[in-house]
């Protein structure tokens, strides 16, 4: 369907011929030379595509797609210079996300083919007298689309990718890093960043401010490393040649927060600035777009009628593929079958470091939150706390605005103690975990007899979990509540396990859940959407409760008050097993920027 409600894409005759002639003329114009109005943006667009795709050929092809899409829009594109720049970067973002998705789908299909060929060979070996199967007509894995690059060209490309490195942004999430790249390297204003990412202005400003805070904390930690006056920092870095990974950055920032000597050195290194007021005093480099390769790429653009093209919103900006997938999911899915079990586990700091050693970056993305029941778990550990580094999330909507009321799963909280934990680690903070509405709440309380303010910080490596706050300071007896959300668009299929860790108490929140890909519901296999025992579907009218005293009655056989089982609040009814067939493949493609 077309993005315009009045015009249909099913045109015939003269309309189709006119459209094909227009697209062909635009492609020929681009093959000869890009229009002059795009020349000021070519270098920045190429640098942006290269930073996302990390491949020169793919970045050049994506830039060619951007120019082709812009020409096809013609007069329907923005006229103002500022709006045009944001619009072109939004087109570049869409093209990069599409290429990342296509690459992921190709890898998955190649893995399936390899598995099929291996199974065929195994069956052929088991059959007596059978000849080994040979693949005919299949393309070889070493086939190349073009001539191989010379050693000098490969070295030049490697140096260009090295110039795009930004060590101070190692502690940011993918979405924070993307916003920083647009604002700092490409000099986009906050309203332009909001337009590119599909956010409102307030959300974009908040994202940039939180990302700037993380960059300044990393810069302060690197300044402490350069001084070399703390034995703890020397033990963490080890060598003079420092490779700042996400895990090492996390430990360095945590050490600077806890060590008075390093904290004073960091304050001297970054004096007199409010956190988040500035990002970096240096100018990040912008690479030159390869004009010759770009002309070749634009001359080989696909002109098929069914070629992929972006869908545009009411402003004329391309829609994020994740937003379109979310719309389709909300139309198809009737209920969310994810079950999350949050467990607060206290552990020594050494075990905490071992648990997070080598985990990938992407400490949380913003999206739809899991719906939680009103049932509360037991009390917390004595003197322990949990939290997480602040994560800005992905480009989806704000938490709690996507799912209708009643569509979320129940969440239970269990507090488990670990033997052998000393009182020195558990004497500063305490933790309680409860639930209210569709949010999991983790409350941190500073001990009333603490010597002074308690500085806390936490982290999580799961890209589908993110807390509402990351760091802070508590006065003796003061409390703070962290809200933990689950992004169902990025949640892995099947059973998953994630952790949220806190310092200096050395506590871990262990979260386990089950993610199921959305599909058509089967009301005949147990309680489902709109059926008895399940949440009502979004299109069904609001049910009228007939027995207010029972929260979840069974229509045919309600439980007796004297019968202890089954209870109405049983979180695992036997009739609702496997409402949706689990996916046997890997995670569904959800493109994200790097």
- CA-CA distance, 271 to 220, in Å (whole number)? 10
Q: Are residues 292 and 368 in the same domain?
A: no
| Domain assignment of residue 192, yes or no | no
pLDDT at residue 395 tops 50:
no
Of 515, 530, 555, the one marking the end of a domain is: 515
Q: Are residues 469 and 353 in the same domain?
A: yes
Cis bond leading into 583, ω under 30°?
no
Residue 147's pLDDT band (cuts 50, 70, 90): low
**Sheet strand arrangement including 465-467:** 429-436, 439-446, 479-486, 465-467
The pTM score is 0.47
CA distances for 564 relative to 220, 373, 374, 568, angstroms: 59, 21, 21, 10
| Domain assignment of residue 556, yes or no | no
Region 180-186: mean pLDDT is 92
Could you identify the residue written with the tokens 């700042």? 244
Higher pLDDT, 561 or 49: 49
| Domain assignment of residue 28, yes or no | yes
Question: How far is CA 121 from its chain centroid?
Answer: 39
Of 464, 485, 515, the one marking the end of a domain is: 515
Question: How far is CA 587 from its chain centroid?
Answer: 13
DSSP state of 400: T
Residue 331's pLDDT band (cuts 50, 70, 90): very low
pLDDT at 457: 74
pLDDT at 313: 74
Provide the percentage of residues in the chain whose pLDDT is more than 70.
48
User: Inter-axis angle of helices 201-227 and 190-197, to 10 degrees?
Assistant: 110
Tell me the pLDDT tens digit for each residue of 432-469.
Answer: 776 665 566 777 888 888 888 888 777 778 777 777 88
Q: What is the token pair recorded at 451?
A: 């010597």
Of 487, 515, 543, the one marking the end of a domain is: 515
Tell me the pLDDT tens digit for each residue of 416-433.
Answer: 544 444 445 456 777 777
- CA-CA distance, 443 to 224, in Å (whole number)? 32
CA distances for 421 relative to 254, 342, 346, 454, 495, angstroms: 20, 20, 7, 19, 29
Q: Are residues 335 and 393 in the same domain?
A: yes
Write down how long the chain is: 594
CA distances for 326 relative to 320, 322, 513, angstroms: 10, 6, 20
Contacts of 271 (CB under 8 A, 6+ apart): none
Tell me the pLDDT tens digit for each residue of 191-222.
Answer: 999 999 988 899 999 999 998 888 888 888 88
Q: Are residues 469 and 420 in the same domain?
A: yes
Region 166-176: mean pLDDT is 85
DSSP state of 318: B
Cα torsion through 257, 394, 197, 161, rounded to 10: 70
pLDDT at residue 67 tops 80:
yes
Least confident of 64-68, 231-235, 501-505, 527-531: 527-531
Number of domains in the chain: 2
What is the bridge-based pairing of β-strands 494-503 and 465-467?
A: unpaired
Higher pLDDT, 51 or 556: 51
Q: What are phi and psi of 444, to 5 degrees?
A: -105, 130
pLDDT at residue 568 tops 70:
no
Closest listed residue to residue 251, CA positions, set 271, 269, 230, 280: 230
pLDDT at 194: 92
| Domain assignment of residue 553, yes or no | no
Tell me the pLDDT tens digit for each residue of 474-517.
Answer: 888 888 888 777 777 777 887 777 777 766 666 677 777 777 65
**Helix, strand and coil in the chain, % to nearest 5:** 40, 10, 50
pLDDT at 264: 84
pLDDT at residue 525 tops 70:
no
Region 275-283: mean pLDDT is 55
Residue 44's pLDDT band (cuts 50, 70, 90): very high
pLDDT at residue 187 tops 70:
yes
Domain that includes residue 79, residue range: 14-104+285-304+314-318
Q: Are residues 383 and 433 in the same domain?
A: yes
Residue 179's pLDDT band (cuts 50, 70, 90): very high
Q: Are residues 420 and 297 in the same domain?
A: no
pLDDT at residue 589 tops 70:
no
pLDDT at residue 390 tops 90:
no
* Residue 121 and residue 133 in contact, taking contact as beta carbons nearer than 8 Å: yes
- CA-CA distance, 326 to 332, in Å (whole number)? 10
Least confident of 57-61, 277-281, 535-539: 535-539
pLDDT at 204: 92
Q: Are residues 298 and 354 in the same domain?
A: no
Contacts of 118 (CB under 8 A, 6+ apart): none
Q: What are phi and psi of 502, to 5 degrees?
A: -135, 150
| Domain assignment of residue 533, yes or no | no
pLDDT at 427: 63
pLDDT at 575: 40
| Domain assignment of residue 373, yes or no | yes
Residue 402's pLDDT band (cuts 50, 70, 90): very low
Least confident of 49-58, 297-306, 330-339: 330-339
Region 558-582: mean pLDDT is 43
What is the bridge-based pairing of β-strands 494-503 and 454-460?
A: antiparallel
Q: Are residues 298 and 432 in the same domain?
A: no
pLDDT at 43: 92
Least confident of 107-116, 202-211, 364-373: 364-373
Counting DSSP H helices and E strands in the chain, the numbers are 15, 10
Produce one character per residue of 517-531: b if its CB has 16 or more CB atoms within 10 Å, e if not: bbbebeeeebbbbbb
Longest dimension (CA), the chain: 84
| Domain assignment of residue 425, yes or no | yes
Region 239-245: mean pLDDT is 62
Q: What is the token pair recorded at 409?
A: 């799963």
Region 136-159: mean pLDDT is 61
Beta bridge partners of 416: 345
Contacts of 438 (CB under 8 A, 6+ apart): 369, 370, 371, 372, 400, 403, 408
- CA-CA distance, 198 to 89, in Å (whole number)? 12
- CA-CA distance, 510 to 497, in Å (whole number)? 7
Residue 594's pLDDT band (cuts 50, 70, 90): very low
pLDDT at residue 45 tops 90:
yes
pLDDT at 474: 87
pLDDT at residue 280 tops 50:
yes
Provide the percentage of residues in the chain whose pLDDT is more than 90.
9
Could you identify the residue written with the tokens 């490697």? 158
Higher pLDDT, 563 or 288: 288
Q: Are residues 292 and 401 in the same domain?
A: no
Higher pLDDT, 107 or 139: 107
| Domain assignment of residue 565, yes or no | no
For the chain, the average pLDDT equals: 65
pLDDT at residue 146 tops 90:
no
pLDDT at 299: 62
Q: Are residues 292 and 333 in the same domain?
A: no
Region 316-321: mean pLDDT is 77
The 3-state secondary structure of 267-311 reads HHHCCCCCCCCCCCCCCCCCCCCCHHHHHHHHHCCCCCCCCCCCC
Q: Are residues 357 and 300 in the same domain?
A: no
Region 242-259: mean pLDDT is 79
Q: Are residues 416 and 290 in the same domain?
A: no
pLDDT at 141: 37
DSSP state of 463: T
């Amino acid at each position: 369907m077309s993005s315009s409600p009045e015009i249909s894409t099913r045109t015939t005759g003269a309309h189709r011929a006119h459209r094909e002639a227009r697209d062909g003329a635009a492609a020929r114009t681009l093959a000869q030379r890009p229009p002059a109005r795009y020349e000021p943006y070519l270098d920045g667009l190429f640098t942006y595509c290269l930073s996302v795709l990390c491949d020169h050929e793919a970045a050049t092809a994506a830039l060619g797609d951007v120019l082709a899409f812009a020409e096809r829009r013609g007069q329907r594109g923005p006229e103002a210079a500022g709006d045009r720049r944001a619009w072109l970067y939004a087109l570049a973002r869409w093209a990069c996300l599409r290429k990342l998705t296509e690459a992921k789908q190709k890898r998955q299909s190649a893995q399936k083919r390899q598995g099929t060929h291996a199974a065929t060979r195994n069956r052929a070996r088991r059959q007596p007298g059978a000849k080994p199967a040979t693949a005919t007509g299949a393309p070889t894995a070493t086939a190349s689309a073009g001539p191989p690059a010379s050693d000098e060209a490969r070295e030049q490309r490697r140096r260009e990718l090295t110039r795009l490195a930004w060590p101070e942004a190692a502690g940011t999430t993918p979405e924070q890093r993307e916003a920083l790249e647009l604002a700092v390297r490409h000099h986009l204003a906050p309203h332009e960043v909001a337009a590119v990412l599909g956010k409102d202005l307030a959300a974009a400003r908040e994202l940039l401010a939180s990302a700037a805070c993380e960059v300044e904390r990393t810069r302060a930690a690197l300044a402490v490393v350069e001084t070399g006056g703390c034995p703890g920092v020397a033990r963490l870095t080890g060598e003079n040649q420092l490779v700042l990974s996400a895990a090492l950055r996390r430990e360095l920032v945590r050490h600077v927060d806890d060590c008075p000597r390093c904290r004073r050195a960091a304050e001297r290194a970054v004096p007199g600035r409010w956190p988040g007021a500035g990002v970096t005093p240096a100018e990040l480099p912008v690479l030159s777009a390869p004009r010759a390769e770009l002309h070749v790429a634009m001359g080989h653009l696909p002109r098929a009628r069914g070629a992929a093209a972006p869908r545009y919103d009411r402003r004329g900006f391309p829609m994020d593929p994740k937003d379109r997938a979310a719309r389709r999911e909300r139309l198809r899915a009737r209920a969310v079958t994810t079950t999350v079990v949050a467990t607060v586990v206290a552990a020594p700091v050494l075990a905490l470091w071992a648990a997070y050693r080598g985990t990938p970056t992407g400490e949380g993305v913003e999206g739809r939150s899991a719906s939680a029941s009103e049932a509360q778990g037991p009390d917390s550990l004595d003197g322990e706390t949990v939290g997480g580094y602040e994560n800005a999330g992905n480009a989806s909507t704000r938490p709690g605005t996507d799912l209708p009321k009643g569509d979320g799963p129940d969440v239970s909280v269990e507090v488990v103690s670990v033997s052998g934990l000393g009182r020195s680690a558990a004497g500063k903070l305490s933790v309680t975990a409860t639930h209210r509405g569709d949010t999991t709440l983790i409350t941190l309380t500073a001990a009333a007899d603490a010597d002074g303010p308690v500085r806390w910080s936490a982290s999580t490596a799961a890209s589908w979990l993110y807390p509402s706050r990351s760091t802070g300071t508590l006065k003796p007896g003061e409390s703070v509540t962290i809200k933990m959300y689950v992004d169902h668009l990025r949640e892995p299929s099947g059973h998953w396990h994630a952790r949220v860790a806190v310092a200096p108490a050395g506590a871990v929140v262990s979260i386990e859940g089950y993610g199921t890909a959305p599909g058509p519901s089967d009301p005949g296999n147990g309680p489902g959407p709109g059926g008895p025992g399940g949440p009502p579907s979004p299109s069904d009218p609001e049910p009228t409760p007939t027995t207010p005293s029972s929260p979840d009655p069974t229509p045919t056989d309600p439980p007796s008050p004297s019968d202890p089982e089954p209870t109405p609040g049983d979180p695992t009814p036997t009739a609702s097993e496997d409402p949706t067939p689990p996916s046997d493949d890997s995670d569904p493609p959800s493109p994200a920027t790097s």
